[in-house]
Copies of this chain bind each other. A is one copy, B any other.
């Protein structure tokens, strides 16, 4: 029997045990034309994504794939942007509920778990399609330090040292892995992961910029990429230390220049 008989039914297994609607939701992500990259280091997590302004007359300040969820947790979304907004709205409700119930801010992994459960439900129930988005969530865990979690339409989430989602997800992951392999040189450890955990704030930013530039073979200008960051580094302004924030264009410019010079 051909694949086609199963894939229109939202909650049905195919004879091979596959859930086609979930798989097609992944296509909605890779077909979205954006690549999001996230990197974490010693005290900092960043997300970076292209900022494509389709029409020149669009008010660029209203175009973003970065969303704040709590004062300390933010995310980058790839896929159907309308679905993204809906998931972000839900994430905010969940965070607020958590703070109200327990009296302290939700941690990044608790939030990721709750949203993942939500996504799973859409893959099991009739009458709703799964969300067509991938979400990379960053934040600083009071105990574990900087975090990066990626959620997918299937309701699966996992933490990363560095991750990517969207159109060039595979190329970006390859690049990051190669990068990590060479990371241990001169860091007093030959475990790349451990080495990764020594990365300072600016190194983390640089790696993210390098990754997106390399994968798309483009020298981005400040208005063409967005960078979200949470950092407890001393390099960070005390006012925003530990908080989620989106860099302004001047700051992006500064880091692009630093990367270009080094290059």
A residues in contact (CB < 8 Å) with B = 1-21, 24-31, 55-63, 80-83, 85-86, 89, 109, 113, 116-117, 119-121, 123-132, 147-149, 154-163, 173, 176-177, 180, 192-193, 196
Are A80 and B177 in touch, CB under 8 angstroms? no
CA–CA, A128 and B81, complex, Å: 20
Smallest Cβ-Cβ distance to A178: which chain B residue: B56
CA–CA, A58 and B2, complex, Å: 35
Tell me which residues across on chain B come within 8 A of A58, comparing CB atoms: 158-161, 163
Given A109-B62, A119-B82, A11-B128 contact (CB < 8 Å) = yes
Are B24 and A17 in touch, CB under 8 angstroms? yes
CA–CA, A89 and B5, complex, Å: 32
Tell me, rounded to whole Å, the shortest Cβ–Cβ distance linking A77 to chain B. Answer: 12
Copies in the complex: 7
Tell me which residues across on chain B come within 8 A of A83, comparing CB atoms: 120, 124, 155
Tell me, rounded to whole Å, the shortest Cβ–Cβ distance linking A247 to chain B. Answer: 20
5 A-B pairs with least C-beta separation: A17-B27, A62-B159, A82-B155, A17-B28, A59-B159
Tell me, rounded to whole Å, the shortest Cβ–Cβ distance linking A183 to chain B. Answer: 11
Tell me which residues across on chain B come within 8 A of A24, comparing CB atoms: 13-17
Tell me which residues across on chain B come within 8 A of A20, comparing CB atoms: 15
